Amino acid sequence: MGLFDRFAKRVRAAADKADAESLTAEEDSIEAREALSFAEAANEFHRAAREPDIITPDRNRDDDDGWDDIEEESSNSAPERLSKRERRHKEKQDRELLERASVRPKGSQIDLKMGTTTTGRKLVSVSSAPKGSFGAGEQELGSGRRLRIDLGGGVVEKGGRVIKAGRALDELLEELEWAMLESDISSTAVEEVLRLLKDSLIGSRLRSGADLAKVIEATLKRALHSLLEANYWDFDASVKRLVSTGEEPVVVMLVGVNGTGKTTTAAKIGKRMTDEGYHVVAAAADTFRAGAIEQLETHMSRLGIKCISSQRGGDSAAIARDAIEHARARKADIVLVDTAGRMQNKKNLMEELRKVHRITRPHLVLFVADALAGNDAVQQAVQFSEMLSFDGAVLTKMDTDAKGGAGLSIAHATGRPIVLAGIGQGYDDLIQFEPTWLMDQLFGV
């Protein structure tokens, strides 16, 4: 049973208990005015968060692709038509909105290197044209990414009943929260998505005859899909573009913690690239784990790919450099650098990995994550990205009983997309990741 099935079952039950009046209000009622006032304040807050002129560069960051937080001022003046009670309620809502702004992680950070790799190369970005509906709009996330909230055809610009805040709506959203958490979506991502969803719902006008529970279901799926699409780039097309620039060999560096499947993933990428007609060389830069060199050599021998290696305990950066020189001399197209697993809290080991990065200046850095690790994989990705930035993630073991929410959470928490997914043990069991595919996994379509 997918996320959609669990959510639909729970929300249906909650919706059956709630009559239309508990979810919506007549346009001229006090509750409707409060909801519309809340929507106005929320929209103003999100518009302010999207303004580019409130961002200033953070010169203290080594990679120079971050931005300082600038807190926004928001007017708390009430419309003249509101009564004293309504003004007090609105002021309370305004305070809540400002409090949210102050606790947003990294504020309204914007990645100025969007569409480029960690070493400044161009990526082939993938994005879909936004659908035009009255209830559509982008809202700023705390991580600096934007989430597209599209209420679809369930809402109208004029008329209808106004969706109001209250216990009935909170119960619907609570059922959704539990379903998302059970699918391994991180609590931070769940909190932000639901907050923005609630901000978008309250004050919207529900079309006559529309089912609010179904509107929420459809809106959630579109929102999560937009989250996965942010900064999303095409692996195959990007490699093709990099090779075409004449910067051969194109260096692809695989990083991650222990046991996520980096070596197997390197073999799968090698098979994928040779099938595309590229000349590939591999570098056995994992000189730490026992048997790692032999494992990669075995894989590459089966695939007919040259593997550059040394004895265990050798200098990883030197091996990677030798592989690049070997590839350059033989006019090879791609070098795959398989690095040792690094626990993200071991700074000395991470520094060694940074040395490999400095020496090789890789065109692409891929973080390999285990889908079975759930929220642990998310935490690993976040801490890893703080030590060594990466361009995208590979989600392995998706053929198991992994729920898939970890992939969405990694994209949300790091601002880097999932680009490849491992779906089996064979060399061909590596697919180009697509947001729609993961949505189908999550929602049980």
Q: Are residues 223 and 255 in the same domain?
A: no
Pull the structure tokens for residue 177.
């929260």
Instruction: State residue 403's pLDDT score.
Output: 61
What is the distance between the alpha carbons of residues 409 and 1, in angstroms, rounded to a whole number?
Answer: 20
Q: Are residues 219 and 192 in the same domain?
A: yes
CA dihedral 322, 324, 326, 330 (to 10 degrees): -170
What is the distance between the alpha carbons of residues 220 and 215, in angstroms, rounded to a whole number?
Answer: 9
Instruction: State residue 35's pLDDT score.
Output: 78
Provide the CB-side half-sphere exposure for 237 (13 A, CA). 12
What is the distance between the alpha carbons of residues 22 and 39, in angstroms, rounded to a whole number?
Answer: 18
What is the distance between the alpha carbons of residues 414 and 117, in angstroms, rounded to a whole number?
Answer: 14
Q: Is residue 166 left, alpha or beta, with left meaning phi > 0 and alpha meaning psi from -120 to 50?
A: left
Q: Are residues 253 and 373 in the same domain?
A: yes
What is the distance between the alpha carbons of residues 16 and 20, in angstroms, rounded to a whole number?
Answer: 10
Letter string b/e over residues 22-36, b meaning 16 or more CB atoms within 10 A of that residue's CB: ebbbeeeeebbbbbb
Q: Are residues 208 and 259 in the same domain?
A: no
Domain boundary among 172, 202, 229: 229
Domain boundary among 169, 194, 229: 229
Instruction: State residue 48's pLDDT score.
Output: 65
Question: Which pairing describes strands 392-396 and 418-422: parallel, antiparallel, or unpaired?
Answer: parallel
Pull the structure tokens for residue 173.
């959203």
Query: Which residues are CB-neighbours of 168 under 8 A, at least 6 positions away?
Result: 18, 22, 23
What is the distance between the alpha carbons of residues 223 and 151, in angstroms, rounded to a whole number?
Answer: 9
Q: With 0-12 CB in 10 A as exposed, 13-18 as middle and 19+ as buried, what is 306?
A: middle
Question: What CATH code is carried by the domain that includes residue 355?
Answer: 3.40.50.300
Provide the CB-side half-sphere exposure for 133 (13 A, CA). 16
Domain boundary among 184, 211, 229: 229
The dihedral sign for the CA sequence 124, 125, 126, 128:
negative
Give phi and psi for 305, each to the nearest 5.
-110, 130
Q: Are residues 180 and 251 in the same domain?
A: no
Q: Are residues 173 and 299 in the same domain?
A: no
Give 10-residue mean pLDDT values along the chain (445 residues): 58 58 79 81 67 41 34 38 58 47 35 63 70 56 65 79 85 82 81 86 84 78 80 89 87 90 95 96 88 92 94 86 95 94 68 89 93 80 83 87 73 86 92 83 64
Q: Are residues 50 and 190 in the same domain?
A: yes
Instruction: State residue 11's pLDDT score.
Output: 55
Instruction: State residue 80's pLDDT score.
Output: 46
Query: Residue 137 is part of which domain span?
Result: 3-229
Instruction: State residue 146's pLDDT score.
Output: 66
Instruction: State residue 105's pLDDT score.
Output: 35
Query: Which residues are CB-neighbours of 403 under 8 A, at least 6 positions away?
Result: 3, 182, 183, 184, 374, 442
Q: Are residues 220 and 247 in the same domain?
A: no
What is the distance between the alpha carbons of residues 162 and 135, in angstroms, rounded to a whole number?
Answer: 13
370, 379 contact by CB (below 8 A)? no
What is the distance between the alpha carbons of residues 14 and 193, in angstroms, rounded to a whole number?
Answer: 20
Q: Are residues 374 and 277 in the same domain?
A: yes
* CA gyration radius, the chain: 24
Amino acid type, 264: T
Taking Cα atoms as reference points, which of 142, 140, 143, 138 lies closest to residue 127?
138
Q: Are residues 193 and 136 in the same domain?
A: yes
Domain count of the fold of the chain: 2
Taking Cα atoms as reference points, which of 65, 58, 68 lies closest to residue 112?
65
Q: Are residues 240 and 291 in the same domain?
A: yes
Q: Are residues 266 and 340 in the same domain?
A: yes
CA 171 from centre of chain: 27
Instruction: State residue 56's pLDDT score.
Output: 37
